[in-house]
Every structure is written in structure tokens, then in C-alpha cells.
Amino acid sequence: MTIALNLPLNPNAGIPHYTAHGNECALFESAWSRQLPILLKGPTGCGKTRFVRHMAARLGLPVSTVSCHDDLTAADLTGRYLLKGGETVWVDGPLTKAVREGGVCYLDEIVEARKDVAVVLHPLTDDRRLLPLERTGELIEAQSSFMVVVSYNPGYQNLMKSLKPSTRQRFVSIEFDFLPRDREIAAVSIESGLAESRVAPLVDLARRLRTLKGQDLEEGVSTRLIIYCATLVDAGMPLFEAVRAAIIEPLTDEADVKAALVEVAAATLGR
């Protein structure tokens, strides 16, 4: 299980940069103030995790990020008994800790987790806002500042891995997509330090490659990969080497597909 615990950023550290797509910031604040859970939908690397970090910092909340996977169980979230110093003690999981103390518990790619995870969330995502812990016999009422946020990529859903309607309808939902060209250029420039004029060809390449999603590629180029590429260029790496390392190689392992992507990159970047 991969868990990142991020404490609220102090005022001197600032708030993580985030470029809004629409009214999602106001929607998040309204949902949090009325204790409503949120579901974020959108392609990989379009800014969902950054959005959560940005909003948590704006609201002064701690955020626990859990990257869901096939082996993630409800116990990984709620906690378990562990042997410490010759004694068996209960240790809260990230969800229980957030329920007790307040803050955001963010479950990234929720559909990857086992089905018992959704069951644990149900009493926390309605007006009860309760977390029953069978192993300790506790029934914990969530702090007023507690919030559940989950995300997933609809493009990866299949019959074996999907959110049931009974689960989806427990959340306020926000749909994400990649930013319009000019705003994506500006966002990548801010994150990487590379001038917008040099970022623009990279964004144009990414937008061109995204049209291949569902054909030669399972997924399009994320904004995250463009930032990685621009960061390498800003560090002095030759443009085409950065493109190959940060954009082409992460997209596919197929030699013929990589060759085709190299041709597209050469044509787009004027090599």
C-alpha cells in the first residue's frame, strides 16, 4: 500500500499551483462546508491529485493520499492490531486517522481497490458520517472537517472494475479533462520553469498524440509527462532526448508504436 501523508502547508510555503478547469474550486469548497463527499473523474495525469492537494492547502486541512491497488483492503484503510514492544496494540489506518482528527482522505483510483473498501465508505458518505470498527467495537463519528475524496479514470473501467451506481450516487462528482492549449502551456511553464514559447511545441505534440488514444495508445499524454519533459529541457537536456525519455517511452513498450511516435514527434517539432 502506498500512502502519502501531507500536513497543511504553512503560509510561507504557499499553496501548490493549480490551474482551474472551471468552477471545481468553488464546488469543492461548497461540498466541504456542507460535509459532502467528492468523486473526481478524468484521465490519468490531468491534475486530479494536484487539485486535491491545492484545495486541502487552501482550506488548511491535512490530506492523506492512498493509491489504491488490487491488494488494498478495508483493513489497510481502517487499521489493524500490530505487535509493538511485546504488546498487541491497535494502529489506526489513514481513513480512521482522518475520521478521528479531521482532514481529507483521498483515495486515488478507487476502482483498483477491493470491493470491501467501498463498503467501508458507505456509512461515511451519507448523513451518518460514521465509521464502525468491528475489531475494536468502536463507532466513530467523523469530525466536522473530515472529507472523503475519491478518483478514478473512466477510460480504464471494465466489467470487472467499475463503481457500482449505489457507490457513485453517494458522491458529488466533478469531471476533469486536459486544459485548453493556452492554459496547459501556462501551467507547464509555471511547473517546469521553461519559457512558454519553448513549452508550446511540447503541448502541441502531446495534443497530437492524444488523438491516438484508443488506436495505437491505451492512454494519451498526461500533463504530468509534459511537465517532466519540459523540466528536463529546462535542465539542459536536448529537446528530442527529453521527448523520448519523458513522453514516448512512458507511453508504450511496443517497438513499432514507439517508432511511429518518434516520427510524429519529429514532424511536430520540426526535426
> Which 3 state secondary structure label does DSSP give 3?
strand
> Which 3 state secondary structure label does DSSP give 175?
strand
Q: Which of 143, 175, 132 is nearest to 62 (CA)?
A: 143
Q: Which of 251, 194, 245 is nearest to 221 (CA)?
A: 251
**Residue 235 pLDDT > 50:** yes
Mean pLDDT of all residues belonging to the chain: 89
pTM of model > 0.75: yes
Of all residues in the chain, the percent with pLDDT exceeding 70 is 92
Highest mean pLDDT: which range of 117-126, 207-216, 229-238: 229-238
**Residue 180 pLDDT > 60:** yes
pLDDT band at 161 (very low <50, low <70, confident <90, very high): low
